[in-house]
Amino acid sequence: MAGITNAPFRLLARRQGAALVVSEMVSAAGLCQGVVRTRQLLAGGPEERPLAVQLFGARPEWMARAAALAEEAGADLIDLNMGCPVRKVVRHGAGAALLKDFGLTLRIVKAVRQSIRVPLTVKTRLGWEPGGETILDLGPRLGEAGADGLVLHARYAVQGFSGRADWEMIGRLVERFPGPVIGNGDVGRPEQVVEMLERTGCSGVMIGRAALGNPWIFGQALARLEGRTPDPVSLQERRAMALTHAAMLSDHVGTGRAVFMLRSVLMWYTRGLRGSAAFRGRINQVGDYATLMDMVEGYFDRLEAESAEELEAGVG
């Protein structure tokens, strides 16, 4: 979710019911070297609280220093990324690459634990690859090293996002780790939140890709947990949320950068709607924010008019 879970995205998730939001991955090296843009990733407003800052890196001393800087900047929780399989992260020995070296992994956790007072979690995977050591071997040792909780994406690093997440392993980790375990992987619908909690006994569920263009999933999941059937999202609600997200992103990064970032954002909000492929093709050619917003308004105007005509024809 790097490049995605910026402040606007997090705020919308919180407003829809997310209990905890997490920053974009923050480079420990960047923080320690004083990179301004990296430091800006730590910023969070009061409405986002509690806010977790996720760090990545492979040097215990830098991870410890970066964690202290993040806590100083206001982080309510520090999360260590030991599960990202992206090549540019792994080739530097960070992210999921740490699952190849449990000794280094434990040294990092110990160093970070000694440098901060706020809770410490580790986001990880089942292991590097099937057949090797797994999180069932590492998990208890992470607790001894100072991790207060674990977030488990139930795939191996080499799988990326392919195959199926092994929820059974989440349940087995719950039995072995002394603190809370948060489950992650293949939760795309609100009812699957309930299913994961019931099947694994985990303390919570992390939702990532399923929230792209769908911040309602958090409130819908809460409704399911309360035994209620959530209301479907209307076309008008989708339009309003897309425009709100666009305005917040513009305020956050400026209209110039927002135009290019919104190409992905608007793709999420219009996925599956009539004429969305053609719409996305058109907005990819636009470089002016005001023009882009006019196109969004026009697109939803047409959809609402067509829906009204179909409804009238059906009634008739």
Q: Considering only 13-17, 43-47, 236-240, which range has the smallest mean pLDDT?
A: 43-47
Q: Would you say domain 7-225 falls under CATH 3.20.20.70?
A: yes
Contact 261, 253 (CB under 8 A): yes
Averaged confidence pLDDT in the chain: 94
Contact 218, 17 (CB under 8 A): yes
pLDDT in tens, 71-125: 999 999 999 999 999 999 999 999 999 999 999 999 999 999 999 999 999 999 9
**CB atoms closer than 10 angstroms to residue 196:** 25
Which one is the CATH code of 235-307: 3.40.630, 1.10.1200, 1.10.10, 3.40.50? 1.10.1200
Q: Domain map of the chain by residue range?
A: 7-225, 235-307
End-to-end, the C-alpha distance of the chain in Å comes to 47
pLDDT in tens, 35-83: 988 888 888 888 988 999 999 999 999 999 999 999 999 999 999 999 9
- Which candidate, 106, 93, 183, 117, places its Cα nearest to that of 139? 106
Contact 179, 143 (CB under 8 A): yes
Instruction: Give the confidence band of 311 by pLDDT, cuts at 50, 70, 90.
Output: low
Its pTM stands at 0.91
Contact 58, 69 (CB under 8 A): no
- Cα diameter, the chain: 72
Q: Omega before 119 cis (within 30°)?
A: no
Q: Does 202 qualify as catalytic in the annotation?
A: no
Which of 18, 32, 52, 84 is flagged as catalytic? 84
